[in-house]
Amino acid sequence: ILSDSCSDDKARRILQRLCLDFGEGSVTGDLCEDLCVLHLVEYKRCLYYENGKKVMEARWRGEPVILKSKLENFSSYEPLGILDYQATLAEQEAAEQLSPLEVVFYATMEVRNALGLTEDDEEHEGGGVNSSLVRLWGKKLKLQEKVYSRAELDSLWALLQQEEYTFFRVLQDLSVHVAKVLGSCGHFYAVEYLSAGHTWDQNIFSLEEVAVSGPDRPRSLGRRTSREMVHRIALSFLDMVSHFDNDFTHKLHLCDIKPENFAIRKDLTVVAIDVDMAFFEPKMRDLLDQNCSSDDDCSFFDCSSRCDPIKRRCSPRRHNSNLQVICEKIFRPWFSPTLLGPDSKLPLQVELQRAVQECSETEEGEEDTREEGGEERGRSRGVHQRLLNILTRLLQEGEASRRREGSRKEKGHAHTALNF
């Protein structure tokens, strides 16, 4: 549902103002020239305009993209303080410019702050490439070995103040489950356009918009083929949960799980497209660690903990999990008897419904703590494996059934070949 204040006129004026800033040399980015000079960015429509967040659909060089910014105007972002300090003291223009090493330092500090991490957090639990999220991106800035202009620094600083941009930009090289940043101009950045979920769609995603890759791609989506696609998407959700739980130094918690915050690529990979409410473990603990009088006071959107009645303090550790909420909000509607119809009585479907029900009721509990050595135990892991096994078997059954059907059609065609 489009926001009431989301109008094309207002959105176009915002982009025109951005181009004025670019023309004056205040902002820059690899998207600016195509947007403001060559007119290779074609505005399509406003998608969301509320609480400061601006989201628009456009086409960049013929490809659909989404333009985003947390705030409407470039001037609304805090300037990089070191630049203002230098500008007042320096007598030469060069004094306004920072070396590549200094840019990496300030960018790294801002990224750590946005992600809720510290240098100690990155070195914690063994290190390695997955634990160096910030430094991995910082190396890319350093490799450019150039002196950054004032417009480049101001634009970079405005982007780094947007937590969602920081998540996407840092994690896109490490995960297939986050949207990719394609370019930027000033405080606006472009991400890939994907088929987003909708609560009102019985399959959540519009499967007709997604082309199934491979030589056996069906021309039209029958009921059975749609179910197979749903099973593949469900498996991708499970892969995403495992990835966010285990493949970084800290768990990545999703605190706003709803169909609209996810999308699928053409290969049916699930992608998080709205991570305003995504937090690594250290920041999650800070958010949950609050005073309380009951468990109701210990919920932060979809992330919740328990209230200690003696200390009257919420546990800083999340009690539910990404998997539990996905089972409750995504899988239960998908695999409900009402939606499945006659297929809901099939043995594997019944087993799946029971597993999803168990999953939606299984909380991590204190026994699911991460042990020394980095391994995790607990009931949630067992439920995850059970869902993985059932969905894999359902997918195999569907593919085998489709092959048998195709074989029967070929035999039938041979019998009627001479029937003019």
The reply to whether 168 and 286 lie within a common domain is no
The reply to whether 171 and 269 lie within a common domain is no
Domain-embedded: residue 412: no
Mean pLDDT is lowest, of 45-54, 211-220, 400-409, for: 211-220
Q: What distance in Å separates the CA atoms of residue 406 and residue 383, rounded to the nearest whole number?
A: 35
User: What predicted TM-score, i.e. pTM, was given to this entire model?
Assistant: 0.83
Residue (of 293, 304, 347) closest to 328 by Cα position: 304
* Confidence (pLDDT) at 405: 67
The reply to whether 107 and 161 lie within a common domain is yes
* Confidence (pLDDT) at 120: 57
Which tens digit of pLDDT belongs to each residue from 193-241? 998 998 887 788 888 776 544 444 544 444 457 888 999 999 999 999 9
Q: What's the mean per-residue pLDDT of the chain?
A: 81
CATH of the domain at 255: 1.10.510
Residue 95 has pLDDT above 60, yes or no: no
Residue 354 has pLDDT above 80, yes or no: yes
The reply to whether 289 and 187 lie within a common domain is no
Domain-embedded: residue 11: yes
Domain-embedded: residue 243: yes
The reply to whether 40 and 189 lie within a common domain is yes
* Confidence (pLDDT) at 406: 60
> pLDDT band for position 89 (50/70/90)?
very low
For 97, the token pair is 């410019």
Which tens digit of pLDDT belongs to each residue from 278-304? 999 999 999 999 999 999 999 999 999
* Confidence (pLDDT) at 82: 57
What integer is the mean pLDDT of 118-125?
53
Residue 336 has pLDDT above 50, yes or no: yes
Q: In terms of pLDDT, which residue wins out, 372 or 101?
A: 101
Domain-embedded: residue 135: no
The reply to whether 111 and 12 lie within a common domain is yes
The reply to whether 154 and 267 lie within a common domain is no
Residue 22 has pLDDT above 90, yes or no: yes
Domain-embedded: residue 72: yes
What integer is the mean pLDDT of 383-408?
84
What integer is the mean pLDDT of 349-368?
82
Range of the domain at 337: 224-365+379-397
Domain-embedded: residue 255: yes
* Confidence (pLDDT) at 98: 63
The reply to whether 33 and 156 lie within a common domain is yes
Residue 142 has pLDDT above 80, yes or no: no
Whether 259 and 237 have beta carbons less than 8 Å apart is answered as no
The reply to whether 283 and 174 lie within a common domain is no
Mean pLDDT is lowest, of 81-90, 193-202, 264-273, 384-393, for: 81-90
- Number of structural domains (the chain) is 2
The reply to whether 74 and 187 lie within a common domain is yes
The reply to whether 245 and 186 lie within a common domain is no
Domain-embedded: residue 281: yes
Q: What distance in Å separates the CA atoms of residue 165 and residue 37, rounded to the nearest whole number?
A: 25
* Confidence (pLDDT) at 271: 97
Domain-embedded: residue 141: no
* Confidence (pLDDT) at 31: 97
What integer is the mean pLDDT of 272-281?
93
The reply to whether 237 and 345 lie within a common domain is yes
What integer is the mean pLDDT of 146-174?
88
Q: What distance in Å separates the CA atoms of residue 9 and residue 394, rounded to the nearest whole number?
A: 49
